[in-house]
Chain A
């Protein structure tokens, strides 16, 4: 069997096509935004027609939805959750709070820019984004996956030191496990 560049590309295209149509979300809600997920999932908007579903554990999931502000305490859990997820994995920042702090910009306990701590593939703005916006964000993610550009996990691996440095800056008592991937 001949394995040249072009055939590898075809495999990639098939892989990406399959990934794009099966996005499983970790059932983990932070901030206020998780309340928009039930209407997104249920019959009114029916996100499952795009292949978007909830999954029980991080190990089975593809997408980590950060649905709002992150307290330092939550950030710890989110980082652990993200690091337990298996490739392919994507992060969606959801709401103004993840982008620039939103209305919690002067809070003593929330981080203001999610992409300093985790690699974000797609941001959905709004406070809070309605299910239409959520679905449009997911479609954006699907486009990125299909084009092979949703490589947040790769970015995280390559720039781990930078991410760790930022994470350690806000998490004072660092008791996190080191995964050796």
Chain B
């Protein structure tokens, strides 16, 4: 069974590579393929994957904020019941403009994901006419999942903090020591900031 499955992934990967020459296809591990694409190739790729490669289930659609590169990375996770393989289709869009096209015509549930990304990251999906208020109510200011949104500051400014938690300690140093791990460089800065 297992040896068969690895062949399936290779087959799919070459199939994708042959159709989309500019795509960057990696087999991450058993049953998982990552496809990085130019953003204008995403709609044709998804439609091709759905209709031709039988990836007819949109398992998840999310976004990563790469503030350092001034880009949003959109991640479509699609699954084929027939092949039992997951494909992660990734693409980058401009962070300032934050605009993309909808994939509602392929999967109806994409609409809900797009509404969430619209609310939490402020991405506008052209063609989706239901990008209205979703989970947050009466939200003003920058969307909360963007990395330049300072959650701690917002929370302390807007909500009353009961005194008594000032001595909360950053336990991560001890935890990493016990587990013989290291705090990554970027995370150090955040842990210090959140304590102030």
Contact = CB atoms under 8 A, between A and B. Distances in A.
A binds B: yes
B149 A112 contact: no
Interface string A108-124: 11111100100000000
B101 interface: no
A76 interface: yes
A173 B161 contact: no
B162 A106 contact: no
Interface in B131-160: 135-138, 140, 144, 149, 151-152, 154-156, 158-160
Given A106-B194, A108-B149, A170 B155 contact: no
Contacts of A105: 155, 161, 165
Contacts of B151: 106-108
Contact of A100 (B136, B162, B194): B162
Contact of A101 (B136, B137, B144, B162): B162
Nearest to B165: A100
A73 B152 CA distance: 19
Given A73-B136, A76-B137, A172-B140, A110 B159 contact: yes
A99 interface: yes
By CB atoms of chain A within 10 A, which of B144, B149, B156, B159 has the most?
B159
A172 B161 contact: no
Interface in A67-91: 72-73, 76
B184 interface: no
A106 B135 CA distance: 18
A57 interface: no
B144 A108 contact: yes
B155 A106 contact: yes
Contacts of B161: 100-101, 105, 112-113
Nearest to B194: A106
A107 B140 contact: no
B164 interface: yes
A171 B136 CA distance: 12
> Which interface class (under 10, 10 to 19, 20 to 34, 35 or more) fits B?
20 to 34
A166 interface: yes
Given A106-B152, A108-B144, A108-B149, A72 B137 contact: yes
A107 B155 contact: yes
Interface in B141-196: 144, 149, 151-152, 154-156, 158-162, 164-165, 194
Contacts of A116: 160
Contacts of A170: 158-159
Nearest to B149: A108
Contacts of B140: 172
B137 A108 contact: no
A169 B160 CA distance: 10
Given A101-B162, A113-B160, 17 more contacts: A72-B138, A76-B137, A99-B162, A100-B161, A101-B165, A105-B155, A106-B151, A106-B155, A106-B156, A107-B151, A108-B149, A108-B151, A108-B154, A110-B159, A111-B160, A166-B160, A170-B158
8 contacts: A100-B162, A101-B165, A109-B144, A113-B161, A116-B160, A166-B160, A172-B138, A172-B140
Interface of B: 135-138, 140, 144, 149, 151-152, 154-156, 158-162, 164-165, 194
Question: Closest 4 interchain pairs by CB?
Answer: A173-B138, A100-B162, A172-B138, A73-B137
